[in-house]
Amino acid sequence: MNREQKKSYISEMTAKFEDSEAVLVAHYQGLTVKQLDELRTEMRKHGIQFKITKNRITKLALEKSKCKDLSNLFTGPTAVALSNDAIMSAKILTKFSKVNTNLKILGGIMGKDILDVAGVANVASLPTLDEARAKIVGLLKAPAQKIVSILLAPATKIAILALEKSKK
């Protein structure tokens, strides 16, 4: 990279760090190109960008962003997951790291909270926004169904009683 390319890379990465709600950092050493492509494809489906970074230049970009506390994670072959949905990116990375042990999650940042490996695992165990909405709807719907069944029960009993009386 020449000087101009480095400057544009730093400004591009700084903007991405600022715009992302969640930034997760991982080591990818030992993964094949095919495995990395699978991971990128899965992440792209959910609007997450998975980018292999140049550590020295990325640290310069981090200094100018809200994610400057992550700079100590950038050693070795490092990749970054940038997204606005921390739960989904944590779920995908955690699931992929269980299947491919060469992917090592180092930590990240969610909003203003810095996450270690255990923090990322905790975030991955949370329900996604759609799952949480479905649970809430299910909880709200259940009492209404019970009320309707209670209200309809006497009417069905009367109908059954009338049917039995008419048979006699």
- And the tokens for 129? 């926004």
pLDDT at site 153: 67
Give residue-wise pLDDT tens across range 50-72: 988 888 888 888 887 888 888 88
Query: Domain-by-domain residue ranges, the chain?
Result: 3-126, 128-168
What is the rounded CA–CA span in Å between residue 151 and residue 86?
44
Query: Among 47-61, 91-105, 149-163, whose mean pLDDT is lowest?
Result: 149-163
CA atoms within 13 A on the CB side of 58: 22
Give residue-wise pLDDT tens across range 16-50: 888 888 899 999 988 899 999 999 999 999 889 99
Q: What is the mean pLDDT of residues 130-143?
A: 78
Is the pTM value of this prediction over 0.75? no
Q: What is the mean pLDDT of residues 108-116?
A: 85
Residue 136: pLDDT over 70 = yes
- And the tokens for 110? 């969610």
Query: Among 8-17, 121-130, 141-150, whose mean pLDDT is lowest?
Result: 141-150
Going by DSSP bridges, is the β-strand pair 49-52/22-27 parallel, antiparallel, or unpaired? unpaired
8 Å CB contact between 87 and 130: no
Task: Supply the mean pLDDT for the chain.
Answer: 84
8 Å CB contact between 71 and 46: no
CATH class of 3-126: alpha beta
